A and B are shown apart, each in its own frame.
Chain A
Amino acid sequence: QSVLTQPPSASGAPGQRVTISCSGSSSNIGSNYVYWYQQLPGTAPKLLIYRNNQRPSGVPDRFSGSKSGTSASLAISGLRSEDEADYYCAAWDDRLSGPNAVFGGGTKLTVL
């Protein structure tokens, strides 16, 4: 059971816009930045969004992130076949002997 909650799957046709949600609590998303990682099949995760809505160099502006309260979302516009991957949200959690990094369970994006 992951600390952050994501839908297990999402899908969209090429060119469409899709959003992936990530729900947490006051000890993680509510008080810390949210990060998004993209994992292509058979590869290591790659940083996609940092500090809620910032894109690393090289990440297309089709990818955007947002955060409100204890939830966050990743939006992908102009969907392309190469976007088919698993997407994970992450945050730091201040509970217990933290900070501890926590991840969502991942969302498998299918491009129809």
Chain B
Amino acid sequence: QVQLQESGPGLVKPSETLSLTCTVSGGSISTYYWSWIRQPPGKGLEWIGYIYYSGSTNYNPSLKSRVTISVGPSKNQFSLKLSSVTAADTAVYYCARGELLGYFDYWGQGTLVTASS
């Protein structure tokens, strides 16, 4: 059974960089597309972007200038960096497995990141 687990700081200061890692267990990150999706408190879902295991990426145009998704730091992990955060970036951040133009079938439990001084 594939499982995903997000990890990283729960508090980030405004203007700094949010960094999260997703660890995949029960399967390999080879093949499939690996996404980050966020949900502000009480609001809907927003796709941030994906990475293919080969390293190719695609980002939400509204966040593209601030987002970097990469494979690593360890095998079966992928990471999210979101720069210049503001209070509007406060959200539960999910990592998820998917197919290109397909569905997200496995999700992490989510981790709340608050942007506040």
Known: A45-B107, A47-B103. A100 touches B47 (CB 8 A): yes
- Contact between B109 and A99, CB atoms less than 8 A apart: no
- Contact between B47 and A44, CB atoms less than 8 A apart: no
From residue A33, how far is it (CB to closest CB) to chain B in Å?
7
A96, CB-defined interface residue at 8 Å:
yes
Binding site for A on B (CB under 8 A): 35, 37, 43-47, 50, 58, 60-61, 64, 94, 98, 100-105, 107-110
A-B contact count (CB 8 A): 60
Known: A44-B110, A47-B104, A50-B102. A106 touches B61 (CB 8 A): no
- Contact between B103 and A35, CB atoms less than 8 A apart: yes
- Contact between A103 and B45, CB atoms less than 8 A apart: yes
Q: List 22 A-B contacts (CB under 8 A).
A: A33-B102, A35-B104, A37-B45, A37-B104, A45-B94, A45-B107, A47-B104, A50-B102, A51-B103, A56-B105, A88-B44, A90-B45, A98-B58, A99-B58, A99-B101, A100-B61, A101-B47, A101-B50, A103-B45, A103-B47, A104-B44, A105-B43
| B contact residues around A68 at 8 Å (CB) | none
Which residues of chain A in 93-112 are interfacial with respect to chain B, using CB atoms and an 8 Å cutoff?
A: 96-106
| A contact residues around B107 at 8 Å (CB) | 44-46
| A contact residues around B98 at 8 Å (CB) | 101
- Contact between B46 and A103, CB atoms less than 8 A apart: yes
- Contact between A100 and B105, CB atoms less than 8 A apart: no
